[in-house]
Chain A
Amino acid sequence: MNDETIAKAESFPARFTDKLLMGMSWAEYSKKLITPFNIVAMIILCVGFPLIGLRFYKGLAAVTHSSNEYPWSILLGWGLFAGVPLSATGYVMATTVYILGYKKYHPLVRLGVLTGFMGYLFAVIYLLIDIGRPWRIYYPMAVSYGPTSVLFLVAWHVSTYLTVQLLEFSPAILEWIRAQRVRKWAILITIAMTIAGVILSTLHQSALGALFLLAPGKVHPLWYSTFIPVFNFISSIFGGLCMVIAVSTVCARWLRDKADDTFLSNLDPLTVGLGKAAAVVMFVYFVLKLIGVAHDDNWALLGTGYGYWFLVEIFLFVALPVVTLSVGVKKNSAGLVRFGAFHAIAGIILNRLNLSIITFNYNLPDHFHHIVPPAKEALIVLSIITFHILLFRWILNRMPVLREDPDFPEEDH
């Protein structure tokens, strides 16, 4: 070993900690970590993570409400079925900027891609906790193929798309660690990755709905429709748009110092623009939902208990946010648009929970018993959400997502 390599080996760890601690010393950094938010987060993690351990020690029965009648509980209802459409942020933003050429949305692309990537990553984490033998998760890809299964499609697409999104996000990581040459390559494949991303998303977003096509007679007829794949795909578009609005709102408030001027000063007009697109797509979705009822001639069912619930979903959680978004756009009020976006997100969550949990097996006695998750399962979910937020913040604090790195100006891809 000559002197030069030794010097390099010494400087690498130093540079590494410098990156991790954002230029602070250990003492400074740990002092900064003690905030009320972090303390609450730690408490949640300290309760939730051991419960995940319990699941792997005593089985799913010890922590969840999954049963023989209701195999999928809130872990998947929330983590996968609601989580994935809200992670459509990556493909909607990349399409807007790189495919449709709306370059002014560029400041939001990375945030969209990161939100999407993290959403999928965590969907997989929920899945790993829920499925019986998580170490076999690659089986559909490598060991035994079940191509007649819609879930086979979902497995392939979610895993491929996760990789695609990591590649899409890689320029930010590479800028962070200053890997100039690799970054050039990463930028080159942006378009290919965007196109692949849109294809994969179209398919698995709709496939997540198509999963339930195999269960007629189990899902309530107002939610069971041959259009489920279309409903799920379309709602993922405005789900993604609204999530970008929501996440950027939160970032602009709590991570202001990590954002640059371009991001902050453009945010309001861009929010209104995204809100406009979301309102249009959401309106189409609303009309399609009504057509769905007409197509299956389910009008009579609207007079039943589930019918009222259905009306609550489509009027209070689809139509109403459409109105809020539209008024917000018309008045050019980013605040109103933000309000509508959060509301629309709640609507998507409600819809996916309705499909996968609340109306699933509606005809079994004791149906309502399983809808409320047991405390342990709720705590597991809460701790994963917390971990999700912490990791997300960790990345936003370090990598150039809300800002452009002055050393790497935007290139024309």
Chain B
Amino acid sequence: MEKARDGGKKGTVSRRQLLQGLAVAGGAAIIGTSTEVFADGKFSGWPDRRGMLTDLTECVGCRSCEKACNEANRLPGPEVPFDEKSVFERKRRPTASAYTVVNRYEPKSSDKPLYRKVQCNHCNEPSCAAACPVKAYTKTPEGSVLYNADVCFGCRYCMVACPFYVPAYDYDSALEPKIVKCTLCYGRISKGGIPACAEACPAGAVTFGKRSDLIKLARNKIRKNPDKYIDRIYGEYEVGGTSWLYISSVPFDQLDYPNNIPEKPLVEQTKGFLSAVPMVLTIWPALLTMCYAATRNKEGKE
């Protein structure tokens, strides 16, 4: 770098230095603090964060949780009543008017159907949050991943990034569309309550508690009943761990749980790229100025 400056023509030195300075300063402003991404590796923050344990073997598919969620969040009424079983004929996913849905599976390895409740898993290091260019998502100490419609501009990158296909979007709203997803009943749990779905479940399939306690509980259940459960807690490590945990009697991929996602938080995937950015911002201007100086001199001689 120094050499290039000295090698250049006297008169252009200050101008080139100025350009370099401008480019670097401008670049730094543009990229901001992108390298101070999330903490490395395992998420260590908020040890008290809450979670939910779903025991898939207990769920009876009554959809009480869907109903309770709908009422607690004052969502629009369902197209099909909550006691209607015909909804199980196809697989559903959360939509703009439903934070949670229950699907039925009939895996060969099980003699009775299994029901899977789908909602935001409240990842420890959520990729929806890592994706959002306006920081509309926050992971709270209570464990909830919250969305703020006041800053969202509707790019839907969070939906692309969520490995569990959770955030739903208000495609029918022309002027005020927003992302819709489960909040882990933040309003209730921050006041010491429990989420509406957990409260409503008549079968005890959904348990609310401290995430670390839930993992112990799940392990105990598996240990005590090794014939009933497969030896895995889904959500313990997936994408760095999620607040929502599941135990089951059949392998999770038979229930459409994504099983091709890494154990590291997804934000790790882009870290390498983001940390290369400042490098480009500092090396490129110098390199290009050198090139410019070199070709300029060459032509001067011709």
Interface residues of A (CB under 8 A from B): 55-62, 66-69, 71-72, 95, 98-101, 103, 131-134, 136-137, 139-140, 143-157, 160, 191-192, 194-196, 198-200, 202-203, 206-207, 210-218, 226, 229, 360, 363, 365
Please name all residues of chain B whose beta carbon is closer than 8 Å to the beta carbon of A155 when the two chains form the complex: 133
Indicate which residue in A60, A72, A137 contacts B177 across the interface (CB closer than 8 Å).
A60
A–B Cβ pairs within 8 angstroms, 13 of them: A59-B173, A101-B292, A101-B299, A131-B154, A132-B178, A133-B175, A136-B151, A146-B134, A149-B131, A152-B34, A195-B288, A199-B288, A211-B160
Known contacts A71-B159, A101-B298: A56-B135 contact under CB 8 Å? no
Q: B141 at interface (Cβ–Cβ under 8 A)?
A: no
Quick check: A132 and B156 within 8 Å, CB to CB? yes
Q: B44 at interface (Cβ–Cβ under 8 A)?
A: no
Q: Mark B152-180, 1 if CB is under 8 A from A, else 0.
A: 11111101110101011111111111100
Say what secondary structure dominates the interface of chain A: helix
Shortest distance from the beta carbon of A303 to any chain B beta carbon, whole Å: 19
Q: B130 at interface (Cβ–Cβ under 8 A)?
A: yes
Known contacts A71-B169, A199-B23: A147-B34 contact under CB 8 Å? yes
Interface segment, one of B50-58, B74-82, B240-248, B261-269: B261-269
Please name all residues of chain A whose beta carbon is closer than 8 Å to the beta carbon of B192 when the two chains form the complex: none
Q: B281 at interface (Cβ–Cβ under 8 A)?
A: yes
In the assembly, what is the distance between CA of A198 and CA of B284, in Å? 8
Q: Across the A-B interface, how many residue pairs have beta carbons closer than 8 Å?
A: 211
Quick check: B174 and A71 within 8 Å, CB to CB? no
Quick check: A148 and B171 within 8 Å, CB to CB? no
Please name all residues of chain B whose beta carbon is closer than 8 Å to the beta carbon of A133 when the two chains form the complex: 152-154, 175-177
Quick check: B161 and A196 within 8 Å, CB to CB? no
Pick the 3 closest A-B CB pairs, nearest first.
A132-B154, A101-B295, A71-B156
Quick check: B273 and A229 within 8 Å, CB to CB? yes
Known contacts A149-B131, A210-B273, A213-B273: A199-B177 contact under CB 8 Å? no
Please name all residues of chain A whose beta carbon is closer than 8 Å to the beta carbon of B22 when the two chains form the complex: 192
Interface residues of B (CB under 8 A from A): 19, 22-23, 26-27, 30-34, 36-38, 91, 93-95, 127, 129-136, 151-157, 159-161, 163, 165, 167-178, 258, 260-262, 266-267, 269-270, 272-274, 277, 280-281, 284-285, 288-289, 291-292, 295-296, 298-299
Please name all residues of chain A whose beta carbon is closer than 8 Å to the beta carbon of B170 when the two chains form the complex: 59, 132
Quick check: A217 and B299 within 8 Å, CB to CB? no
Indicate which residue in A71, A134, A195 contacts B23 across the interface (CB closer than 8 Å).
A195
Please name all residues of chain B whose beta carbon is closer than 8 Å to the beta carbon of A147 when the two chains form the complex: 31-34, 36
Indicate which residue in A139, A196, A210 contacts B153 across the interface (CB closer than 8 Å).
A139
Known contacts A68-B159, A145-B135: A60-B171 contact under CB 8 Å? yes
Quick check: B130 and A148 within 8 Å, CB to CB? yes
Quick check: A146 and B135 within 8 Å, CB to CB? yes
Shortest distance from the beta carbon of A210 to any chain B beta carbon, whole Å: 4
Quick check: B151 and A139 within 8 Å, CB to CB? yes
Quick check: A199 and B281 within 8 Å, CB to CB? yes
Q: Residue on A with the closest CB to B93?
A: A68
Known contacts A144-B134, A145-B32, A148-B37: A134-B157 contact under CB 8 Å? no
Known contacts A61-B172, A99-B288, A143-B151: A214-B270 contact under CB 8 Å? yes
Please name all residues of chain A whose beta carbon is closer than 8 Å to the beta carbon of B273 when the two chains form the complex: 150, 206-207, 210, 213, 229
Quick check: B266 and A214 within 8 Å, CB to CB? yes
Quick check: A59 and B172 within 8 Å, CB to CB? yes
Quick check: B288 and A148 within 8 Å, CB to CB? no
Quick check: A140 and B134 within 8 Å, CB to CB? yes
Q: Residue on B with the closest CB to A149?
A: B133
Q: Residue on A with the closest CB to B166?
A: A68
Quick check: B295 and A146 within 8 Å, CB to CB? no
Known contacts A143-B134, A149-B132: A213-B270 contact under CB 8 Å? yes
Q: Residue on A with the closest CB to B291?
A: A99
Quick check: B155 and A98 within 8 Å, CB to CB? no
Quick check: A56 and B23 within 8 Å, CB to CB? no
Please name all residues of chain A whose beta carbon is closer than 8 Å to the beta carbon of B269 when the two chains form the complex: 213-214, 216, 226
Quick check: A156 and B30 within 8 Å, CB to CB? yes
Please name all residues of chain B whose beta carbon is closer than 8 Å to the beta carbon of A62 when the two chains form the complex: 172
Quick check: B31 and A151 within 8 Å, CB to CB? no
Known interface pairs A72-B160, A145-B32, A199-B27; 17 further A-B residue pairs with C-beta atoms within 8 A, sorted by A's residue number: A59-B170, A59-B174, A62-B172, A68-B93, A71-B156, A71-B169, A95-B288, A98-B292, A100-B295, A101-B295, A132-B169, A157-B30, A191-B292, A192-B23, A203-B277, A213-B270, A218-B163
Known contacts A60-B177, A157-B30: A215-B161 contact under CB 8 Å? yes
Most chain B CB atoms below 10 A, which of A103, A140, A229, A363: A140
In the assembly, what is the distance between CA of A202 and CA of B175, in Å? 34
In the assembly, what is the distance between CA of A58 and CA of B168, in Å? 18
Quick check: A136 and B135 within 8 Å, CB to CB? no
In the assembly, what is the distance between CA of A157 and CA of B29, in Å? 11
